[in-house]
Amino acid sequence: MKLISDVIQRSPVWINPEHTVETAIILMSGHQIGALPVLSGSELVGLVLYSNVMGAPPTTLIRDIMLTDIPLLRPEMTIKEAADIMSRSDFGRLPVVAEGKLVGVITSGDLLPELGRSFDPLTELPWSDSLREWAISELQAGHEITVLFLDLDNFGPFNKRYGHIVGDDVLKAVAQALRDATDKESDFLCRYGGDEFAIATVRSAPEAEELSKRIERRITSLQLPELGDEKLSVSIGQFGGKRTREREHVHYAATLNNLINLASQSCTESKTHRKLGRRRDRAHNNTQEDTLSEPRLRLSGLQVSEQSGLAHVQVELEMLGGQPSAKAEEEAAPTSFREFVSRPVTCPEDLLRLVAYSTASAITRSLPNGYSVEIEQLMTQPVTGGREAVTVVGSLTTPEGRQPGVGSALVGESGYHAAAKATLAAFNRIISRLLRTTERTE
């Protein structure tokens, strides 16, 4: 969620306590504002509202009518914290102070657009930025976090069959079922995007698993008149809640990125197992229906060398899946995409970033024109069991805009392989959807 420092838009207009009401009215009218901070020298001593000056004699001094017991905002506060303070204090405009100095003024009008972006108007659930804020706060307090990642099964075809109005009703019903299943004291629920939801919880891993089962039962038992006898189902991935030692010197945002990404991967695996189970059922019943396998990119080759500060990285990816049947998928040769990059490096982290950059370039080669993958950040952090994980943060640029991607991979064979696999993990899910959409429209 954005901070107050991100939304301060103008230099504050202020008044001196020895000025008169007439001066205040001129300033307020000229700048079309409803309040003025009052400064004595550089010290903030009060606030005067339009309601204070209206009806007062023009020669009245500001010091005689100003408000002195006012809450102060700080630049590092979130906009939600600022909105809560405004709501409790009944002020629609408050000064922002840093190190005792006035640095700006925030109005409720400045906050409302940002608050609107943090809540989904359809389900009335917060978006993932609010979940991140809550979860990072819990991690900083020393609490262990478990993340549940939920994805409704076959929602795309379902949406097309019944229409978006019914689809919206389903999402609202699912959101309410999730509210009923969770506890605000221990869980934070958000809409992650599309037909995806996420829950961060301070429950233990076994308790979170029970929550997952309860959620699945609630969603499968939902009954909507528009659906008739058709049942909803959901895939749920879970990760976290198993730390056995105190967390020290940890990048909390990176830790949360890792938990979300691994829970998302677990959700994808759960969905894949469901699809494979349905395929086996259809084969057992001698059905002839063809199904599409999940298109995805896999690391098939990685060569890294460095000499005298010059690094060479060659990445080779292959596209798997997307064939009209399981048999055809086995017989078809995967399409390969290669990228070779040479660049000066000064430290091991530079080389890891170069591997991630090269992998992103190879991914871009697999995409249609107008699409590209960019790496914005690469981090390494310790995880349970004394191992390390590499987390990659980036974005996929499309003709419609940018989509964020976050992926993590445990360091096994080498940190270089982990950097490449984390990059693939960040974008494979998005690319899979893109390619499936392309296949349906061709």
Q: Centre a 10 Å sphere on the Cβ of residue 379 and count the other Cβ atoms it contains.
A: 19
Q: What average pLDDT score do residues 153-173 get? A: 84
Q: Which of 95-109, 138-152, 276-290, 363-377 has the lowest mean pLDDT?
A: 276-290
Residues of the chain with CATH 3.30.70.270: 122-288
Model confidence band, residue 187 (pLDDT cutoffs 50, 70, 90):
very high
* pLDDT of residue 330 exceeding 50: no
In contact, 305 and 342? CB cutoff 8 Å: no
SS in 3 state form for the chain? Answer: CCEHHHHCCCCCCCECCCCEHHHHHHHHHHHCCCEEEEEECCEEEEEEEHHHHCCCCCCCEHHHCCECCCCCECCCCEHHHHHHHHHHHCCCEEEEEECCEEEEEEEHHHHHHHHHHCECCCCCCECHHHHHHHHHHHHHCCCCCEEEEEEECCHHHHHHHHCHHHHHHHHHHHHHHHHHHCCCCCEEEEEEECCEEEEEECCCHHHHHHHHHHHHHHHHCCCCHHHCCCCCCEEEEEEECCCCCCCCCCCHHHHHHHHHHHHHHHHHHHHHHHHHHHHHHHHHCCCCCCCCCCCEEEEEEEEEEEECCEEEEEEEEEEECCCCCHHHHHHCCCEEEEEEEEEECCCHHHHHHHHHHHHHHHHHHCCCCCCEEEEEEEEEEECCCCCEEEEEEEEEEECCEEEEEEEEEECCCCHHHHHHHHHHHHHHHHHHHHHHHHHHHC
CATH code reported for the domain at 4-116 = 3.10.580.10
Give the C-alpha separation, 256 to 188, whole Å: 13
List, for residues 32-74, the tens digit of each pLDDT value: 788 899 999 888 999 998 888 888 899 999 999 999 989 999 9
Cβ-in-10-Å burial (0-12, 13-18, 19+) of 185 comes to exposed
Nearest to 345 by CA among 311, 303, 314: 311
Model confidence band, residue 368 (pLDDT cutoffs 50, 70, 90):
confident
Residues of the chain with CATH 3.10.580.10: 4-116
| Residues across the chain | 442
**Given the structure tokens 């008169």, which residue do they identify?**
20
Q: Centre a 10 Å sphere on the Cβ of residue 243 and count the other Cβ atoms it contains.
A: 14
Question: Tell me, what's the pLDDT at 55?
Answer: 82
Give the C-alpha separation, 272 to 249, whole Å: 36
In contact, 12 and 31? CB cutoff 8 Å: no
Question: Tell me, what's the pLDDT at 62?
Answer: 95
Q: Which of 69-78, 297-306, 405-414 has the lowest mean pLDDT?
A: 405-414
List, for residues 210-251, the tens digit of each pLDDT value: 999 999 999 999 888 877 778 888 999 888 865 544 445 457
CATH code reported for the domain at 290-442 = 3.30.160.270
Model confidence band, residue 413 (pLDDT cutoffs 50, 70, 90):
low
In contact, 382 and 397? CB cutoff 8 Å: no
* pLDDT of residue 288 exceeding 70: no
The class (CATH top level) of 122-288 is alpha beta
Question: Tell me, what's the pLDDT at 439?
Answer: 47
Give the C-alpha separation, 215 to 204, whole Å: 16
Residues of the chain with CATH 3.30.160.270: 290-442
Please state, rounded to an integer, the average pLDDT across all residues of the chain.
81
